Amino acid sequence: MITFENVTKIYPPYKNKKETVVLKEVSFQVDKGEFVCIAGKSGAGKTTLIRMITGEEDVTEGKIFFDGEDISKIKRRKLYKLRRRIGVIFQDYKLLCSKTVYENIAYSLEVTGASSEEIEKDVPEILDVVDLVEKAQQFPEQLSGGECQRVAIARALIHDPDLILADEPTGDLDPYHSQNIVDLLVKINKTGTTVLLATHDKEIVNYLEKRVITIKDKKITSDVKNGRFRL
C-alpha cells in the first residue's frame, strides 16, 4: 500500500541555520492491512515521514507510492482525494478551534460529501467509542489535552479510511485511555485498515508485538516483524 523508495528529506537553510537532513535514503514497504510501528527518539523524523505521506511535506529525493501512485506527482489541488483515504491522528491534535467537538468530527465526513443522516448516525457512535459524548458541544479550548487527543482520534477514524497514520496518539493520554486507544487501533486494523503508528513509547511498541521500523540517525536501522522497541 505504501512504498518508500530511497526517500531523503532535507529542510533548506533557514536564517543562520544550515540545511537540515531529516531522513536519508529511507526505503520500506507497508502492505494493505498491516500494523506497523515507526519507532524512534523525538526528532528522529517520524512526524516528517507521516507528513510526506499526506503530501504536507515534499520529498527532497526519492519517491513515495500510495497504492502505486507517486505522491509527489499529485497536484496540490488534487491532494484532497488522497487525504480522504487517510485518517491522521496529529501529535498536536490540529483541531478546529472555532468548531465544537461534534463539528470537528463531522467536518471530516462533510468534506467527503457524506449525507446528513450518515453524519448524524456515525458521529455519536464514534463519540461513544472515544468516551466524549458529554463533551460533544464543547469547543477544543474547553477540553483537556487527553480529550483533545481523543477528538483527533475520532476525527481520523470517522470516515473509515484505508490508512491510519497515528503520530504519537497516546502522548497526552493517561494509561487507561492510552490502552483503550491502542486497543481501538488494533481493532480497526483487524477490519482491514492499515495502521502506521509513530511512537517513542516503549511500552506500547512492546505491548503490540507488531512490525517495528526503527529510525535512528536519519536512517532505518531495523525493520522487524513482531518486533520490540530497540534504539
Partner 1 sequence: MLTSIKRSFILGWKNFKRSGGLSVVAIMVLMVTTFLATSLLLAQEVMEETIEEVERRADITIYFTSITPGDRIMEVAENIDDNFTLLGIDYTSQHEALEDFRQRHGDNPVLMDALDEVGNIFNPRLDVRATEVETYRRVSDYVRGNYSEIVEEISFYSYGRKEAIESIFSITSRIRRALIVAGTILAVISVLIVFGTIRLSIYSFSEEIKIMKLVGASNAFMQGSFIVQGFILGLVASLISLLVLFGLAGLMYQGYNVFGINLENHLFENLSLILILQFSTGIGLSVISSALAVKRYLDV
Contact with partner 1 (CB under 8 A) among 96, 176, 183, 217: 96
Q: Is 15 in the site for partner 1 (CB under 8 A)?
A: no
Residue type, 110: E
Kindly tell me which of 51 and 210 has the beta carbon lying closer to partner 1: 51
Q: Is 155 in the site for partner 1 (CB under 8 A)?
A: yes
Q: Is 117 in the site for partner 1 (CB under 8 A)?
A: no
Kindly tell me which of 158 and 213 has the beta carbon lying closer to partner 1: 158
**Contact at 8 Å (CB) between 109 and 158?**
yes
DSSP summary character for residue 13: P
DSSP summary character for residue 96: -
Helix or strand or coil: residue 180?
helix
Q: Grid coordinates 459524548 are at which residue?
A: 133
| Grid coordinates given for 31 | 502492505
Contact with partner 1 (CB under 8 A) among 16, 115, 191, 226: 115
- 42 burial (CB, 10 Å; 0-12 / 13-18 / 19+) is exposed
Distances (CA, A) of 119 to 87, 90, 110, 176, 223: 16, 22, 8, 28, 39
Contact with partner 1 (CB under 8 A) among 16, 98, 191, 226: 98
Q: Is 73 in the site for partner 1 (CB under 8 A)?
A: no
Contact with partner 1 (CB under 8 A) among 95, 123, 126, 197: 95
Contact with partner 1 (CB under 8 A) among 159, 177, 210, 211: 159
Q: Which residues bind partner 1 (CB under 8 A)?
A: 54, 56, 76-77, 79-80, 83-84, 88, 90, 94-99, 107-108, 110-113, 115-116, 155, 159
